[in-house]
Structure 1
């Protein structure tokens, strides 16, 4: 696939500011220019960006209901009430439950955790979970990464004498559940300065407030920051401001002294001995934590994350790795089936969105398939499957389009829905799926901008190979952790040529391993272009071409650099 490249030439003012900033902080004007484009324009802001400080975390008591939540937790402990930590079955929910449970367990023993079964109970607060809480004498449930729409279920729990503290980050309805406290920065009446925490992040703020209130040193929370980094990466929330601080120090913890359960997963992934990045979490660690909830029950992931014995953790990690291998097979098959359906539909008319349904698809995999289709077709996508007379769906979106609002526009035919701008879930009657598809697609047609369904690359800077020095590469690493709103800088070099040694590689000859030169230096740059073997013939024709790429470590060459090439196009004459 070829992309549309977006690049804004810096203004003379930006160039002047970049030169000044580069002198002050000792980095290349190229990177200073990228900082300025990202809103970091002063020496002090740059220092905060490159060295995020835990002291800059926001006071947790600025979050609405935090004082009430801490008081209720203190009361529960003082009265020796049984407490249940309850969470969603995805990575964010499981890490949040593990974080809160592990922290509180150091000070209080009458505590349990619960993850609902995706297939038996569905998403969020379940009546089965409430019944289990009642039978085991639970008086307080701390619910993480879900619960913000569970009005009826929480009212039922309240009638049984069970209180709820909700820690969620999904968009609330106007009417919220009758919980004792609702911690959610997306509440319309909450003035908390940072709105983009993940569920685990809200759980961390709750524990930070509890520690502060009870004179527990902040240092006791540090070993739990690896859970925050994993959830921030896996839940794809913006890696800016408070999330950047938590992710930066969480990655440090993950690399230096990870919790026993995460260390076992790192070993199983073959990542031991490497410096772990957010990409390693997204592509290796996160999918394995997710796998048990997708295939069986997410409780197994929490069991692993709170495990204290490494040999036992390794056994559990191997088990969820088997789930992940099975998940990959089903995921591949479902994606192929979905692609076949789309090709049939596309022959009639190209829609600005995709809504697919098949009653045989596995509920735990539909979210992955929706993500894959969004990446392939650059359109908001919903994938649904059937359970009895109900349809359950997962939605994913493209940059800048609010899929949650599109789903909300059909709420009168929905039984349940929830989520945020780029990812959401929904339930409706199976018979209503065709009508939902019609109305959803109509909403998208009316509201999406043409450029939102184009394959685009946002180029940060145009450079020559002579600019790619060891220092530039070292300084680039300081821009991490990377993620939404702080993507890895993307560069472009024009008029490059094959050095004569580029070749097609891969099991199916689908990738190109490149050795390139440009016209302005003698530097020979190594590169890899995944899935772009279609460009090999042009590259070998000795004509010039342009490349868009990120700059990566060359794992086969100490201190070496490799270009990860995102797109190749013939140079304009």
Structure 2
């Protein structure tokens, strides 16, 4: 029997955060259990914003992947979107296919049926003959080492987007985008497959910006006063960004020729003692000019900063011909009724400032402000986010990932858009399930819409659900929904039969008391609900389980685990007897040859 252990919250911290934020101690206590322990984190959790989505270029291979997609678009190459048959895989496929179509791509999509999970050499060969030169996997591919090698040998580039646990050996894909890869520094690891696909095409949308793949230097200076003619620079700070990702920093104190007035030191905190061992402006400017090169320059109130920098460059017989962008002027255009000071903008945009009125800190803050302003200004990226949130919210709810960080943003803003979708298939589903707007929540989506859509995939007909979500033809949507409803009825009957059969066989084939993990093999059941049956066995017996159904010369099935036991790692240790596998620490799909089943 399960025993619940309740963590105790820090009472003093609970009281402090409750007083600072105005939320009750009960709410604060719950948030502390989730590791949310600062006022900023609490605000982001309770009131998430679209602007809090992470920059997709934090993925190490993102720029490379985007450039390859843009090349395929420019050359009219044939692209294949290769998905998976659950709702996460379906919505991932829909996002990729619809957006590439919108961009004018020659694009196909494929979701496996009887072949089972993941890439297959036979299908790669089939699409090679149809002229495909680029495959983009969504919600699969991270374990496809052999298949990617085969595709490469046939002259096809593969971009993998996945969110499943990464094996020790990774595929040698053209680009690999999976937050769970060991070398990946993307800050949020719990994206669903559709979330990873969404990030890829968010980045593709940004690639149409003037700032894509360009070096930009965001700078700030501190001085002895306000006059570039009479006063001097005492500090230069700058961050070099590419696709709004910081790639390099510059920070130098400067020894001025005259003392820093005390009233000025009181503002930025820099004193004569701080600067007495620092180089003079001529040496610092040489280093700074080398740092900026031909980059676009950005500053908040650039007239002030650049007046000092132009004058300092002139003294060493240099010029600064770079393009300069002023975030102050940009904010006045895009935020006409707001305060436009850097600190006020940062506060309004929920950007944390580490140290106000120090050059490097202010430059870093200005960089984040600039990124938010560009998001407001760039219509293509904003349009993509608004148009595809409904799909990413559906797939995120379906995959039962933690509803924190980006997942929370997707669901908060996407679920209402899902209800109001103009796609006839979605409207027909909601009407058939008799869901009212006031009760249309993530929970209702999870319990009503997701099982219906998943039922088609369980019967190898995920294409029905994929088409239902994107068709614009009402008559076709009605026909698809009728077929899916019929399949769902069969699925419910099959579920009852299989769960009973698997539980009976598990008791017969395993030592229920002493076995650490159950392995159950049957040869007389239909596929489709094996994962559901495995979950039921976990609930009943509280132990990891592998369920396999024999079919021809292969055994295919599902594995489920309990907290603390990584089923992917366990299966990876047996990979010499497994044909194909993939999944998460708690849930895996797998297949193996019958002769390897003991």
Q: TM-score, normalised by structure 1?
A: 0.71
How far apart, CA to CA, are the structure 1 residues paired with 2:91 and 2:395?
A: 6
Aligned to 2:502: 338
SS at match of 2:597: helix
Give the one of 167, 187, 196 matched to 2:190: 196
Give the one of 23, 27, 31 matched to 1:31: 27
1:433 Cα deviation from its structure 2 partner: 2.1
How far apart, CA to CA, are the structure 1 residues paired with 2:595 and 2:504?
A: 23
Aligned to 1:68: 64
Alignment of 1:265-276 (within 5 A): 265-276=429-440
Contact 1:151 1:176 in 2 (8 A): yes
Question: Larger radius of gyration, structure 1 or 2?
Answer: 2
C-alpha change, 1:406 and 1:20, in structure 2 (3 Å) is: same
Between the two proteins, the alignment pairs up a number of residues equal to: 428
C-alpha change, 1:114 and 1:204, in structure 2 (3 Å) is: same
1:374 Cα deviation from its structure 2 partner: 1.3
Structure 2 segments unaligned to the other structure (5+ residues): 210-379
Deviations 1:220-270 (A, max 9, x none): 322211221222222122222222222222223224446443333222322
1:379 aligns with 2:543: yes
How far apart, CA to CA, are the structure 2 residues paired with 1:8 and 1:71?
A: 47
1:181 aligns with 2:180: no
Aligned to 2:52: 56
Contact 1:261 1:305 in 2 (8 A): yes
C-alpha change, 1:371 and 1:377, in structure 2 (3 Å) is: same
Structure 1 segments unaligned to the other structure (5+ residues): 435-573
Aligned to 1:405: 569
1:350 Cα deviation from its structure 2 partner: 4.0
Aligned to 2:141: 147
SS at match of 2:79: strand
1:403 Cα deviation from its structure 2 partner: 1.2
C-alpha change, 1:37 and 1:109, in structure 2 (3 Å) is: closer
Q: TM-score, normalised by structure 2?
A: 0.68
SS at match of 1:5: coil
How far apart, CA to CA, are the structure 2 residues paired with 1:366 and 1:235?
A: 16
1:421 Cα deviation from its structure 2 partner: 0.5
Contact 2:99 2:201 in 1 (8 A): yes
Aligned to 1:247: 411
Aligned to 2:451: 287
Aligned to 2:271: none
Deviations 1:35-61 (A, max 9, x none): 223222333221111111111111111
Aligned to 2:472: 308
1:88 aligns with 2:84: yes
SS at match of 1:412: coil
1:233 aligns with 2:397: yes
SS at match of 2:4: strand
RMSD of aligned alpha carbons: 2.1
1:336 Cα deviation from its structure 2 partner: 0.8
Contact 1:116 1:126 in 2 (8 A): no
Deviations 1:171-207 (A, max 9, x none): 2333333321111112222211112211111100100
Contact 1:226 1:259 in 2 (8 A): no
C-alpha change, 1:419 and 1:217, in structure 2 (3 Å) is: closer
C-alpha change, 1:343 and 1:156, in structure 2 (3 Å) is: closer
Aligned to 2:3: 4
Contact 1:268 1:318 in 2 (8 A): no
Contact 1:138 1:162 in 2 (8 A): yes
